[in-house]
Amino acid sequence: MTAGARPSGARGVHDTVGRAWAMVRLGAANALVFRANVVVSMLSVALQTVLLVTVWRAVYSGRHSVAGVTGDRAVSYAVLGLVLGHLALPWRLSSLPERVREGTVATDIIRPVGVVGQSLLQSIGAAVGALPGVATALLLGALLGGLTMPATVSAAFGFMLTAALGWLIATLLNLMVSMVAFWTTDTRGPFYVYRAVASFASGALVPLWFMPDWLRPTLEALPFALQVFAPLQLWFSEQPLGGVGGVVLAQVGWLVVAALLTALVSWRALRTVVINGG
């Protein structure tokens, strides 16, 4: 770590960076430690990529464009949407429910980084752990000829920026939702609701292009569309919300809202914390 070479005046910063780095590594290690799991998740992503490309090609067979969207674009979208969805909505929403169930959250509260901070850093780690899957999907998508590149550099740049911000919104919301673990032991129900709404409304399953006209405005008003659909529109050089600036502005707004909500919920949660098994 390069932070080690700092002068002693930066000691506090160094410690904080060190701790944060440790949390990120913990998250990545948790994801990577089970080698079978990594292999399976790569296979799973690979299989899904192939299937998605095939399905969309088949659905389009004989048609050039539907709802103003060409087949090539729909296929590209499907692969990229899979990748973004894979990152934004991981199988494990956050490490929090597990730690509440096992009672280790009690020690987390004492640790200096804070429960929310730790969970977020571990999510970053988990995203790093998901990168092999992402690489697999992109590679396969490209091999199958199902990946069109952004037309301009600025489109690519806009996509990267907004995708990152979208991931941050998703991770904050994931964390907020996973805090229901503080109130109920069986988290499956609420998680399913959230997962269903998020994956549908974000456009990870079906691009919002194909939504009926009465549904689309509602979906675009939700923060989920900013996680997958809006970044991908920029990739394809569409101009949602007046371009990159508009999307980023909306994302920052939602980030603030999500952060406030997360802070509120975690404040309530930690006040009523029930440690299991103690």
Partner 1 sequence: MVELAKDFRTLLRVAWLTEMEYRANFLISIVGALAYNASQLLFISVLLHAFGGVAGWTGPQVFVLFGIRMASHSVCAFFFRRMTDLDTVVHTGEFDRYLLRPVSLFLQLLMRRFNLQQFGDVVIAAAVLGFALPRAAIDWTPAKALWLVAAVAAGGMLEAGLQLVRGALSFRWTNTESMTGLIETVFGTFGNFPLQVFGGVGAVFFTLVLPLAFVGWIPAAMLLGRQDSLWFPGWLGWWSPLVGVGCFALAIVFFGRQSRHYASPGS
Partner 2 sequence: MIEVDALVKEFRTAGSVDGRLAGLRRLWAPSRLVRAVDGVSFTIQRGEVVGYLGANGAGKSTTIKMLTGIVRPTSGTVRVNGVVPWQNRRAHAHNIGVVFGQKSQLWYDLPLRVSLETIRDLYRVEDRDYRARLAEFDEVLGVRDFLDTPIRSLSLGQRMRGDLVGAMLYRPEVLYLDEPTVGLDVVAKQALREFIAAQNQQYGTTVVITTHDMDDIEQLCRRIVMIDHGSVVYDGDLPVLKKRYLPFRDVVITPADDSDAALIRADHSERIEGEDGTITLRFDPDVTTAPAVIAQAASATGIDDLKVIEPDLEDVVRLIYAEAGR
From the list partner 2, partner 1, none, pick the one residue 29 interacts with, judged by a Cβ distance below 5 to 8 Å according to partner type. Answer: partner 2
Q: Give the whole-angstrom CA distance, residue 247 versus residue 164.
A: 12
Select from partner 1, partner 2, none the partner in contact with residue 191, using the beta carbon and a kind-dependent cut-off of 5 to 8 Å: partner 1
Residues 25-54 that bind partner 2 (CB under 8 A): 25, 28-29, 31-33, 35, 38
Contact 52, 46 (CB under 8 A): no
Side-chain-side CA neighbours of 36 within 13 Å: the count stands at: 0
Is the Cβ–Cβ distance between 27 and 121 less than 8 Å? yes
- The partner residues of 65 in beta bridges, in order of sequence, read 70
**CB of residue 41 vs partner 1: minimum separation in angstroms?**
4
Nearer to partner 2, 25 or 57 (CB): 25
List the x/- string, 41-60, binding to partner 1 by CB under 8 A. x-xx--xx--x--xx--xx-
**Distance (Å, whole) CA 278 – CA 276:** 6
The site for partner 2, by CB under 8 A, has a size of 9
Pick from 55, 88, 87: nearest CA to 74? 55
> Do 91 and 109 contact (CB within 8 A), yes or no?
no
Q: Which of 114, 210, 253, 274 touches partner 1 by CB under 8 A?
A: 210
Binding partner of 25, given partner 2, partner 1, none, CB within 5-8 angstroms per partner class: partner 2
* Nearest CB to partner 2, comparing residues 91 and 157: 91
Q: Indicate the helix (H) or strand (E) that contains 70.
A: strand 69-70
Which residues, including other chains, have CB under 8 Å from residue 211's CB and lie 6 or more apart? 219
Write out the two tokens for 186: 């069986």
Min separation Cβ 197 and partner 1, Å: 7
32 contact, one of partner 2, partner 1, none, CB 5-8 Å limit per kind: partner 2
Residue position matching structure tokens 């991770």: 171
DSSP reduced 3-state for 65: strand
Q: Which residue in 195, 257, 259, 270 binds partner 1 (CB under 8 A)?
A: 195
CA distances for 82 relative to 9, 124, 196, 271, angstroms: 45, 18, 15, 38
Q: What are phi and psi of 70, to 5 degrees?
A: -80, 160
Q: Is 158 exposed, middle or buried (0-12, 13-18, 19+ CB in 10 A)?
A: buried
Per CB under 8 A, the list member of 3, 29, 66, 264 interacting with partner 1 is 66
Query: Closer to partner 2 at the Cβ: 35 or 63?
Result: 35
CB of 242 to partner 1, least distance (A): 26
* Window 89-108: contact mask with partner 2 (x via CB under 8 A): --------------------
Residue ranges binding partner 1 (CB under 8 A): 33-34, 36-37, 40-41, 43-44, 47-48, 51, 54-55, 58-59, 61, 63, 66-67, 91-92, 184-186, 188-193, 195-197, 199-200, 205-206, 210-212
**Which residue ranges make up the site for partner 2 (CB under 8 A)?**
25, 28-29, 31-33, 35, 38, 129
